[in-house]
Amino acid sequence: MRIAQYRQGDEIRIGLIGEGGLQPVDFRGDLIDYLRQRVELRPAGAPLPLGQVLWAPAVSRPSKIVAIGLNYRDHADESGGRPPERPLLFAKFPNSVAAHGEAVTWDTSLTEKVDYEAELAVVIGRRSRNLGVGDALAAVFGYTCANDVSARDLQFGDRQWVRGKSLDSFCPLGPWIVTADAFTEPLDVEITCRVNGRLMQSSRTSRMIFKVPELVSFLSRNFTLQPGDVILTGTPSGVGAFRDPPVYLQSGDEVSVTIEGIGTLTNPCRTV
């Protein structure tokens, strides 16, 4: 199934995506509430046309967002880095999540070098620790599109990545989650990024150095994964910082991340 979060008044609710749009359900709570309870979702009311949905982030309050650096060999090559021998981890703070259609914003007094990174995001479905590679996918609830927005001047100037990766709105997730049972080929799907319609990144998840089962297993052996935790699996080549000349996002730009079998996550950009 495809499950989405949307805003209804002051609440974040979940609904199911179908041919008729977004189908509200009788469950009162958000995705993490649902992951903890796993009750049957029954339709409640008429479907909402997708164009009328007030989207919320695919996961709105993860306990953690764990991102993987340099996980495509071509991206490691373009950045001048060595492909890692084990997964290279960094964190994005939960305040960075944003919804499909929500503006990615930044203060130009903080950063003027904002970059895009198309990524496949993994959403954990159950509390997990010390998983073997063969058991890792059983812990995955589903997959969504992500944009690991990055303030390169902060990232490179700080010589560590957390601040430059964690500004408010710097982790769009969506538009919805495709559950693991409906997305059977996460290891080899097309992933692209377009800025104002121009193709900037194009690759396949089969080119990851560390595949999804390896990542989930590795992370679970280092710390407990909780329902709703998000893993960003890395970005392919074509990011703006390593183009000649560099291409950074500007106020008024529109960024779209498309993953085969999931959909397209689109966000406008705006300086504040």
Domains in the chain, start-ordered, CATH in brackets? 1-55 (no CATH), 57-271 (3.90.850.10)
pLDDT at residue 160 tops 80? yes
**Strand 104-106 relative to strand 263-271, pairing:** parallel
pLDDT at residue 138 tops 90? yes
For the chain, give the percent of residues with pLDDT over 90. 94
For the residues 70-98, what does the mean pLDDT come to?
A: 93
Distance between first and last Cα of the chain: 37
How does DSSP assign 33-77, residue by residue? HHHHH-PPP-B-SPPBPGGG--B--SSSS-S-EEEEES-BHHHHH
At residue 79, the pLDDT reads 84
d(CA 19, CA 50): 10
- pLDDT tens digit sequence for 212-226: 999 999 999 999 999
Closest by CA position to 116, among listed 174, 177, 56, 194: 194
At residue 186, the pLDDT reads 80
For the residues 227-246, what does the mean pLDDT come to?
A: 97
pLDDT at residue 151 tops 80? yes
d(CA 119, CA 47): 29
Distance from CA of residue 231 to its chain's centroid? Answer: 8
d(CA 35, CA 228): 7
φ, ψ of residue 101 in degrees (nearest 5): 85, -15
- pLDDT tens digit sequence for 10-37: 999 999 999 999 999 999 999 999 999 9
Sort residue 238 into left (φ over 0), alpha (ψ -120 to 50) or beta.
Answer: left
- pLDDT tens digit sequence for 119-131: 999 999 999 999 9
Amino acid at 125: G
Q: Band the pLDDT of 164: cuts 50, 70, 90.
A: very high
For the residues 187-207, what does the mean pLDDT come to?
A: 97
What's 215's DSSP letter? Answer: H
d(CA 60, CA 232): 15
For the residues 67-73, what does the mean pLDDT come to?
A: 95
Q: Say if residues 216 and 140 touch (Cβ distance below 8 Å).
A: yes
